[in-house]
Structure 1
Amino acid sequence: MHLVPAERAHRNTIDDHRVCDAIAGIGEPTRVAGWARRFGLLSEPGRLTLLLAVHAAGPISVTDLAIATGMSDTSVSQALRVLRTAGAVEAHRDGRVIRYRLSDPQVHDLLHRLSPCPATTSH
């Protein structure tokens, strides 16, 4: 029971190795908090919809995201501000247009598991 913190070492276990495996699987508290924040971002349908759209088509503008998702430009901008503050997306200026793309590799990997990007088409 080498992974059990001292304040819990007095408790009786049923399977010592399973307790250690569980503690190792949980990992560092900061890592858990980071994933909880990511899942919080994904828990709101509008943000998840935007992330899926950016994942599939990024870099993409607010106007194009609004058309693709059926959301208003204002709603898209507000949600993107939250996603940008959280580090999930980043904005890049392309002349007068600002385009968004994913910036968090873990979010990218998670979205890819939810919905692999289709082959891109040339227009």
Structure 2
Amino acid sequence: MHLIPRERAQRSTIDDHQACRAAAGIGDPARTAAWARRFDLLADPGRLTLLLAIEAAGPIAVTDLAIATGISDTAVSQALRVLRTAGVVEGRRDGRVVRYAMSDPEVSALLRRIG
């Protein structure tokens, strides 16, 4: 049971190999926590809708996102602030307009699978 943490290694298993495979499947706890935070962001239907639209359209302005999604400009801006802080999207200035694009390639890959 080489993959089981020492504090749990004393417990009896039914199948050592299955327990080790399960532990290997969990992987790095920090990576698991990072994905949990991503899924928390994706759990909100409004944010998920915005992310799907951004993934499909590429760099896009707040007003265009609001029109495409049916979400108010204010709500779009608030959601983008959360997504930007989390590092999932980034804003790029284009003159007086800020266009938003995906900045997390792992979330982008996930969105392409579900979109």
TM bracket (short chain): over 0.9
Q: Indicate the residue corresponding to 2:34 in structure 1.
A: 34
Identity %: 72
Aligned residues between the structures: 115
- CA deviation profile, 1:55-94 (whole Å, cap 9, x unmatched): 0002000000000000110000000000000000000000
Amino acid at match of 2:75: S
Q: For the residues of structure 1 that align with 2:57 and 2:90, how far apart are their CA atoms?
A: 14
Q: Indicate the residue corresponding to 2:77 in structure 1.
A: 77
Secondary structure of the residue aligned to 1:91 is strand
Could you list the runs of 5+ residues in structure 1 that have no partner in the other structure? 116-123
Q: Indicate the residue corresponding to 1:15 in structure 2.
A: 15
Secondary structure of the residue aligned to 2:91 is strand
Q: Indicate the residue corresponding to 1:56 in structure 2.
A: 56
Amino acid at match of 2:70: G
Task: Give the root-mean-square deviation of aligned CA atoms.
Answer: 0.5
Amino acid at match of 1:106: E
Q: For the residues of structure 2 that align with 1:98 and 1:62, how far apart are their CA atoms?
A: 8
TM-score normalised over the length of structure 1:
0.92
Greater helix percent: which structure?
2
Secondary structure of the residue aligned to 2:18 is helix
After TM superposition, which residue ranges in structure 1, 4 or more long, deviate above 3 angstroms?
Answer: none
- Kindly report which structure 2 residues correspond to 1:44-123, keeping only aligned pairs within 5 A, or say none: 44-115=44-115
TM-score normalised over the length of structure 2:
0.99
Secondary structure of the residue aligned to 1:4 is coil
Could you list the runs of 5+ residues in structure 2 that have no partner in the other structure? none
Q: For the residues of structure 2 that align with 1:105 and 1:36, how far apart are their CA atoms?
A: 16
